[in-house]
Structures are given as structure tokens and as C-alpha cells.
A and B are shown apart, each in its own frame.
Chain A
């Protein structure tokens, strides 16, 4: 058994389905919050680097929906979306995130909380997300995303080699 598996938190943490990521952005809190709630901005950064978002619809109100279709360089589409549970500008966002297949059937089900904190003009963002895979082809879906990532690494490596 690889050591990395043994050393993972799986044995000790009861919340292994949860991911917490913290990042500080050099921008005011109101602007960072807007990046999440304005589709014009959200589509510019949501998803891995090589993906585009041909569809990005956001209705950031409690009960409102969001719907994004990510597209990989081969033209495969990865739709996802959900419903806003809490919208407290510019502090807090809670929404469900459900990845669906092309027919709208759910593949991965999750709940994401985003907390925005002001830190001397910068913004500390904390993202907590938890999820459950709900159908068989979640594996396929995730595999596709994996391909996207390795491609972006390849293209980066290519650029570096040329530089």
C-alpha cells in the first residue's frame, strides 16, 4: 500500500468528504464577492485553466439558480449548477453544486460555503465544499476533468520548454 494513502486523513477525520481551501486575493471584498455573483465575471475564472464556460447563468438570490456549462478543449461539455441557499453580500455565499450529464441527470451532489473576510483591503476567501458522487458515470466525468488538467500542464510544460 502506498504510504500516501496511509498517511491521508481518512483514518482520523470523520469529514473526509469535506474540502476546505483558503486563499487571499489582492482585491477589495466587494469586488471579490462580485466575481461570484456576476456571470460576466464568473465565466472568466470558473473551472480548470483549459476550460471555457460557454453557458454561465447566475441568479444570486436565496432560492435562485446558477447554471454553468464548462467545455474542454476537445469540445466535451460538463454542465453543473445548483441553488443558492444563503446570499449575504459581501460576506457569505452558500449554494448547492450539482454536476449533471447532458440530459440534466445529477452526477455529483454537493454543498459549498464561501466566506469572504476583509484583511486590510485584501480579501481572505474560505471555501468549504462537500459532496457525494451519485451515479456511476461520475467516474467518467472526473476522468474527463483529469484529462483537462494534464493537458493544461502539458501546454504549460510546452511553453516553458520554448521559453
Chain B
């Protein structure tokens, strides 16, 4: 499965609150379908349907016990999602560091320009006065 499809199926699987609750439960240890169905007001077939979605997304797997068939959490796809979100966050955080720096430079330059302008004005005034003086 391609990376993007893979990510999309992970996102789709995580979009449902019941499925997130199931994963949350599995994070504290493997559990059978019956055990998973217990806290939810849901039939076993309904839970099984959610489990199939999670399984297809690679988020859970089945344990070895042939009778209980316990489900286990698989971390890799979750990590991929977390990494991907982190990439975006990092991109903007770094960009904003640059923007912050750039804004400081820009404003410092503007201030320097204003000062120069003020100086030029002063000089112009002085010239005016200087020009007037000999006429005195």
C-alpha cells in the first residue's frame, strides 16, 4: 500500500470515536472481541465491523490464542500520523522563526531610514540658515 493511501486509511480509521476508544482500550493491553464490546452499548457484529476497519488500517492485529483471538494495538501507523503532523508543525515553526527575525531586521532598517531623513531635514535647515546668515 502506498504511503498516502496508508495514511488516509489510518486517518479514516481514527475519525470514529468508537474506534479511538477501542484503540485506547488496547493501549493498556490486548483484549478479545467480547471484552472490547463490553464497555460499549453495541452488538458484537457492530464492534467486529469497527475492528475490521482498524485491522485494514494496520492499527490492530490478532494475537496467537486461537480461541480468544485477542486484538493487539499496532503502533507503526500511529507513529506515521504523528510524524506527518509533526513535519507540518515544524515547517511553520521554523518559518515563523525566520519571519520574526526578518520583521526585526526590516523594522530596524526603517528606523534607521527615518533617522537619516530627520538628519537630512536638519541639514537642510542648517543650509537655509547658513544661506541667510551672510545677508545679515
Answer yes or no: do A and B interact.
Answer: yes
Separation of A152 and B8 alpha carbons in the complex (Å): 30
B88 touches A129 (CB 8 A): yes
**B87-121 interface with A by 8 A CB criterion:** 87-104, 106-107
B103 touches A21 (CB 8 A): no
A129 touches B92 (CB 8 A): yes
A133 touches B3 (CB 8 A): yes
Decide if the interface of chain B is mainly helix, strand, loop or mixed: helix
Separation of A132 and B8 alpha carbons in the complex (Å): 7
A11 CB contacts on chain B under 8 angstroms? 20-21, 23-24, 27
> Which residue of the partner chain, among B8, B85, B104, contacts A19 with CB atoms under 8 Å?
B85
Separation of A80 and B2 alpha carbons in the complex (Å): 21
Interface code B62-84, partner A: CB below 8 Å = 1, 0 otherwise?
00000000000101001101101
Count contacts on B: residues with CB < 8 A to the other chain: 43
CB A161 to nearest CB in B, in angstroms, measures: 21
B27 touches A1 (CB 8 A): yes
B102 touches A16 (CB 8 A): no
Decide if the interface of chain A is mainly helix, strand, loop or mixed: mixed
The answer to the question of A103 belonging to the interface, with a C-beta cut-off of 8 Å to chain B, is no
A49 touches B14 (CB 8 A): no
Separation of A12 and B128 alpha carbons in the complex (Å): 73
Interface code A106-149, partner B: CB below 8 Å = 1, 0 otherwise?
00001000000000000001010101111111110010011001
Interface code B1-37, partner A: CB below 8 Å = 1, 0 otherwise?
0111101100100110100110110010000000000
B4 touches A27 (CB 8 A): no
B14 touches A25 (CB 8 A): no
Separation of A25 and B101 alpha carbons in the complex (Å): 10
Separation of A133 and B84 alpha carbons in the complex (Å): 9
The answer to the question of A47 belonging to the interface, with a C-beta cut-off of 8 Å to chain B, is yes
- Which residues on B are within 8 Å of A, measured CB to CB? 2-5, 7-8, 11, 14-15, 17, 20-21, 23-24, 27, 73, 75, 78-79, 81-82, 84-85, 87-104, 106-107
Top 10 nearest A-B pairs (CB, nearest first) are A136-B2, A45-B98, A1-B75, A139-B3, A45-B99, A133-B4, A48-B94, A27-B103, A11-B24, A45-B102
- Which residues on A are within 8 Å of B, measured CB to CB? 1-2, 4-6, 8, 10-12, 14, 16-17, 19, 21, 23, 25-27, 31-32, 35, 41, 44-49, 110, 125, 127, 129, 131-139, 142, 145-146, 149, 152
